[in-house]
Amino acid sequence: MSHKLKICFIIPTVKSGGIETYLLRFLKYLNNSMDVTVLVRNTNKDELLEAYQKTGAHMVFQPLGNFNPSKMMWYYRFFKENAFDAVCDFNANFAGQTMMLSKLAGVKKRITFYRQSSHLFINPTKFRIAYSNFLNRLVYKYSTNIFANSATGLKFFFKNEYPADKRFEVIKNGIELEEYISPAPESKEQLRQKLNLPADKFIIGHTGRFTEAKNHYFLLDVAKRLIDADSNIFFVLIGNDTDKLLPYIEKLKISDNVRVLGYKSNIPEYLKAFDMYFFPSVTEGQPNALIEAMVTGLPVLTSDIAAIAECLPQEGRHCLIDPYDVEATAQKFAELRNNSTTYIFKEYAVSNFDSGIQFKNFKDKLSD
């Protein structure tokens, strides 16, 4: 009987986010072919916990903090006692501690997987940048492999080393294509009725939790501009904590044309009910949400930032907008509505982000 690889994946939370969704999909792909432990650097049992448990993964919740001796000792003992074949941390530079501790514990394969292309600090003070850079050096010293879902991310975090060091590799996001590309059993009108969405509006969708990086206030400023010009336009926002936007929506007086839905597990259904998709993030790694919309076949407008441009075909760059210019973005919407088919990149997304291909690549790297 062949040895079942024993892997420890480390994630920040079990909330619905890019890292957590990516790993959950990968564990489903593995289908119990590896002995998986998911170590969560948080104590909160959030909405994806049940889905993670269904994959058969062992779930462990333990914060690490910033060089806390007792917590560092816990992690060291945990790695030592479990004798993992590999440890893979998705916490970007903050994997520095776990890479060092797993090395000391004798773990042979130590992987840091970057899922972002910039620092996540809201206020990037000199101290925070210096601390992050210090952790980055630990990642570089102790990791046996350094992956990212975009070349943009590796260039940002390792501008002096990438791509020369052979430990670096880009592994793209993987989307389970069937649930996004298969036709809905209902017509769009029936689907909208089922989801309690207006049947006669031009619906612009967005999926993403409420964070500064997702640029929701800009999105709503654009919505205000479009709705004032055309009352047939309707926005739907899906994602954790998007209810925090309700006071601003009230302030803009667009409540009748904007619906905030919070977390939803049936994203493919909503995407198939939309007419277009808007994604104005100011920082990303490689956004699952945007790729899902592209795979569905929706026309898209999205931010002109390097990590997002990397997700598009060269001839598709006309869909990029300045995520700070409301007026120019509103004009882009008019262009899209007049010629929406040129803003659809379904074929490209399907060929580049197939989970069967991308997850196999990641699994092979874990098994090397």
Do 191 and 329 reside in the same domain of the chain?
yes
Residue 16 counted as domain residue: yes
Residue 104 counted as domain residue: yes
Do 107 and 188 reside in the same domain of the chain?
no
Do 123 and 232 reside in the same domain of the chain?
no
Residue 237 counted as domain residue: yes
> The domain that contains 79 carries what CATH number?
3.40.50.2000
> In which domain, by residue range, is 162 found?
6-174+354-367
Do 155 and 221 reside in the same domain of the chain?
no
Do 201 and 218 reside in the same domain of the chain?
yes
Residue 221 counted as domain residue: yes
Do 205 and 302 reside in the same domain of the chain?
yes
Residue 333 counted as domain residue: yes
Do 322 and 363 reside in the same domain of the chain?
no
Query: Tens digit of pLDDT per residue, the chain (368 long)?
Result: 457 999 999 999 999 888 999 999 999 999 999 999 999 999 999 999 999 999 999 999 999 999 999 999 999 999 999 999 999 999 999 999 999 999 999 999 999 999 998 887 767 899 999 999 999 999 999 999 999 999 999 999 999 999 999 999 999 999 999 999 988 888 999 999 999 999 999 999 999 999 999 999 999 999 999 999 999 999 999 999 999 999 999 999 999 999 999 999 999 999 999 999 999 999 898 999 999 999 999 999 999 999 999 999 999 999 999 999 999 999 999 999 999 999 999 999 999 999 999 999 999 999 98
What is the rounded distance in angstroms from the CA atom of residue 246 to the CA atom of residue 241? 10
Do 160 and 212 reside in the same domain of the chain?
no
The count of domains in the chain is 2
Do 286 and 193 reside in the same domain of the chain?
yes
Residue 215 counted as domain residue: yes
Residue 1 counted as domain residue: no
